[in-house]
Amino acid sequence: MPIETGRENAPQPLLTLTEDEQLFRDNIRKFAEETIQPLVKEMDEKGVMDHGLVEQFHQLGIMGIEVPEQYGGGGGTFFEAILAVEELSRVDPSVGVLVDVQNTLVNNALIRWTTEAQRQKYLPKMCNEWVGSYALSEAAAGSDAFALQTRAEDKGGHWLLNGQKLWITNGKESNLFIVIATVDPSLGYKGITAFIVEKGFPGFSVGKKEDKLGIRASSTCELIFEDCQVPKENLLGEVGKGYKVAIETLNEGRIGIAAQMLGLAQGAWEAAAKYAKERKQFGQPIANFQGVAFELAQMATEITALRLMVYNAARMKDAGIGFLKEAAMAKLYAAQVAERVASKSVEVFGGYGFTKDYPVEKFYRDAKIGSIYEGTSNMQLSTIAKLMLG
């Protein structure tokens, strides 16, 4: 009698995609290679995102991947959003982070915390024309994210916001900002409150755009609130519940940044492997030399391990399973792998890798941000340690 294996009910391997996911990924990859790749060098040099690209993102439906169809979105999964970020970042991490912030931070917060009236007002715009930003960080509120100075005062008919935000991704392109402020600093985290701020609100302006080491086409800006008037109906969630909005949104966003770093590492590795098979020394491709081949093999192994971690965290999120530890681990490891792979890829190219004529130089610069934003590597280690050690 044959032994029952139960294989017919076995879960699919994490790296196996459904037909729909495969088609989605392939379409994003094709678009990235054909449309984004020719613009990468110029966007990096000028430090500006091509405006036409943003319009195409909306036309392709990748600015509202998880938004329900009734609001004009794709009705897709968080995992699909992660696939999009990975594939775009494989060509240009600057583009990857714009789409990442839109989907994993801004849209996720709007889907989860808004009223029905707010969803009807804002989600169709996010899917079809608007870009969004998530505004938490301040000069004195980095890793200590809730040492906020931006104040929100209830003026009866409206809220009045005063303060500054720093390091805000998509600041130049955005029409909508999720802003975290405090109604009373003496209340600590219980005073933290979230708001939906439109670019045209009185008293709001976008300040300095940072001149950065990497992901230069992605705008990183200061936001200024000077008696900024926010309608009462633009409260996001409840007064004093902004801490929960911010933390739970960031947990999801960390998987997105891990996907960005994953795509970066994959792009750098592919460039290095291709070059190693073409570049000849001592009468043969350098890929034939063990010193190069082993480095590429090690890099490929780490990228595959990272992909498993990122996909697992994203699948857990979609399944409604707690994923805080897995997100922190994925984000931590992604930053480490991206830096190592980008650095080793430069070395494979040798002197050429140190020039701007080849893509690995840019991947190397872009990789550094992975250990800094949306929670530094030390903050991820702190989270993991607390969850693992109690």
Q: Which residues are the active-site residues?
A: 374
Q: In angstroms, rounded to a whole number, what is the distance separating the alpha carbons of residues 137 and 166?
A: 6
- Do 263 and 310 meet the contact criterion of CB atoms below 8 Å apart? no
Characterize the bridge pairing of strands 192-198 and 235-236. antiparallel
Scanning the chain, the segments in alpha helix (DSSP H) are: 19-31, 40-46, 51-60, 78-91, 93-100, 108-113, 116-128, 242-278, 290-319, 324-349, 359-367, 377-389
How crowded is the C-beta side of 390, counted as CA atoms within 13 Å? 0
- Do 158 and 231 meet the contact criterion of CB atoms below 8 Å apart? yes
33 secondary structure, DSSP code: I
Helices and strands of the chain, counted as H and E runs: 12, 10
Q: In angstroms, rounded to a whole number, what is the distance separating the alpha carbons of residues 3 and 27?
A: 42
- Do 294 and 58 meet the contact criterion of CB atoms below 8 Å apart? no
Residue 235: strand, helix, or coil: strand
CA angle 341, 343, 346 (to 5 degrees): 105
Identity at 218, one-letter amino acid code: S
Picking from 202, 180, 183, the residue whose alpha carbon sits closest to that of residue 191 is 183
- Token duo for residue 190: 């219980």
